Amino acid sequence: MRNKWRRGTFTPKNQDKFIGSRAIYRSGLELKFFRFCDDNPNVIKWGSENIIVPYISPLDNRVHKYYVDNYIAIREGNEVNKYLVEIKPSKQTKPPTVKYRKKRHLLYEQKAYIINQAKWNAAQQYSHKKGYTFIILTEKELNFNK
């Protein structure tokens, strides 16, 4: 599909909090989240695509690698909580609808949705085993659209 998203490399101001060699953002939503992680004093550690979760694709029944968008360890009150964070536009978190779609585009969206569900289920299981919480953030949580 056509790429209309913001892309680039983010350079953290607080290098001691960042895990990894570089932070590549593929959307304005990811860039906003990177800035939040870098600037928030409660964020202890964060990383971009540094956690790899194996998952089985329902399309080919083969094992693939899911690079979760972000890992974050954040101080919340007296606790430090660890999250695996996927960042997606809210539209991509819901099943695609037939309304006003070309067949080819609808098929692409259906495949992407099915694969995302498999990835997210695997990330939920991985998170549970590690004591993390898996969350999906959209523009609604990031207050991106005003």
- Could you confirm whether 88 is annotated as catalytic? yes
Catalytic residue, from 45, 88, 109, 111: name it: 88
- Could you confirm whether 30 is annotated as catalytic? yes
Burial of 87 from C-beta contacts in 10 A (0-12 / 13-18 / 19+): buried
Give the three-class secondary structure for 80: strand
Closest listed residue to residue 118, CA positions, set 47, 53, 33: 53
Catalytic residue, from 38, 69, 86, 139: name it: 69
Catalytic residue, from 17, 30, 119, 139: name it: 30
Cα dihedral 132, 133, 137, 140 sign: negative
- Could you confirm whether 69 is annotated as catalytic? yes
Instruction: State the catalytic residues.
Output: 30, 69, 88
